[in-house]
Amino acid sequence: MLQTVLGDINEKELGYSQCHEHLFIRKGKSYNINQALYMDDLDKSTRELLLYRTAGGKSLVDAQPVGCGRMADYLVQASRKSGVNIIASTGFHKRMFYNENHWLFKKKTDELSRLFMDEILYGMYIDGDNEQPLLRIGARAGIIKTAVEGNGVDEKYKKLFTAAAEASIQTGAPIMCHLDNRKDAISVVHFLTSLRVPASNIILCHLDRAFYDPAFHIEIVRAGVYLEYDTIGRFKYHSDEKEIELLMGLIDSGYASQILLGLDTTNQRLSSYGGAIGLDYILNEFIDKMLKAGISSHSINSFTLDNPVKALSIKKR
């Protein structure tokens, strides 16, 4: 079972999926830090989803969590208008994206895990960026976003990760994690699995951007986690050819079944907002590049069809 903003779907309905995108981010602290982190136009984001759907996209994950500019009501409307399945996130982002006195830092562990669980079981809040969240809609989150910022799960993050782990264990929802470096990857896998979150319910994001070392990626994927790669069409980091080398390293080592793809979009990467590429970049360009480089369509189907079903499903509790 997969839990979208319009309700549950079965694995056959998921189809081609990108596992870490941003369709909407309300103007707030994120925007003050990076002006690319602001998209709040229902028409533009819907148009982007229609491009995605025309190219063959069926589903995606919106990785903006509660209280951090997530626009859950817009996700519902955009999904309805475009026909694209959207899996929304509860959980938390990097601490830098919240004001110091944010409720996220004040709540106790059990209050936080309860809030994350409520969003998965009963519905998401549409407020809470600054004040305590109060307004809830019926659309439910389907995944728990987490994030670290270079020091692994240190004292400042322990409470947040403990709450996310508890919510994942109780609901069966997967945890995805934003990483900044190698240390983060090791620490997150260790911390979550030590709390008995199954490795198969953990998705590590951005390792292809955060730490470019094929041997290390193989070492991490051995733990049984999924790696979500999204440094695709992001030429300030590296070329698509370099990205393909990483993918081929994992395929050759037998880990094609643990790879997910995404674009981690911002307004600078969504064509409807004037961005350099579009949500359809993987479908319209990157898949061709992978095929030309010798990656089989079987592997590409694993990354975009089969692996998302396993990684994004709500596991039996």
Question: Do 233 and 279 contact (CB within 8 A), yes or no?
Answer: no
264 contacts Zn ion (rule: CB under 5 A): yes
Least separation in angstroms between CB 97 and Zn ion: 11
**Whole-number Å distance between alpha carbons of 22 and 316:** 27
State which residue, 63 or 177, has the beta carbon closest to Zn ion.
Answer: 63
Least separation in angstroms between CB 296 and Zn ion: 28
Least separation in angstroms between CB 93 and Zn ion: 8
Task: Region of 107 please: left (phi>0), alpha (psi -120 to 50) or beta.
Answer: beta
- Please report the sign of the dihedral spanned by the C-alpha atoms of residue 229, residue 31, residue 157, residue 149: positive
State which residue, 265 or 272, has the beta carbon closest to Zn ion.
Answer: 265
String marking each residue 49-68 x if it binds Zn ion according to CB under 5 A: --------------x-----
Q: Could you tell me which stretch among 102-110, 193-201, 220-228, 264-272 binds Zn ion (CB under 5 A)?
A: 264-272
Question: Do 312 and 174 contact (CB within 8 A), yes or no?
Answer: yes
180 contacts Zn ion (rule: CB under 5 A): no
State which residue, 118 or 264, has the beta carbon closest to Zn ion.
Answer: 264
- Rounded to 5 degrees, φ, ψ at 188 are -65, -45
State which residue, 166 or 264, has the beta carbon closest to Zn ion.
Answer: 264
**Whole-number Å distance between alpha carbons of 121 and 260:** 25
Which residue type is seen at 217?
A: H
Report residue 268 as tokens: 């600078």
Least separation in angstroms between CB 256 and Zn ion: 23
Least separation in angstroms between CB 23 and Zn ion: 11
State which residue, 70 or 217, has the beta carbon closest to Zn ion.
Answer: 70
CB-neighbour burial class of residue 248 (10 A; exposed 0-12, middle 13-18, buried 19+): middle
Which residue type is seen at 265?
A: T
Least separation in angstroms between CB 20 and Zn ion: 6
State which residue, 20 or 256, has the beta carbon closest to Zn ion.
Answer: 20
- Rounded to 5 degrees, φ, ψ at 87 are -100, 120
23 contacts Zn ion (rule: CB under 5 A): no
**Whole-number Å distance between alpha carbons of 125 and 51:** 28
21 contacts Zn ion (rule: CB under 5 A): no
Residues contacting Zn ion: total by CB under 5 A: 2
Tell me the β-bridge partners of 136: 125
Least separation in angstroms between CB 316 and Zn ion: 28
State which residue, 133 or 262, has the beta carbon closest to Zn ion.
Answer: 262
The residues that touch Zn ion, with contacts defined as CB under 5 A, are 63, 264
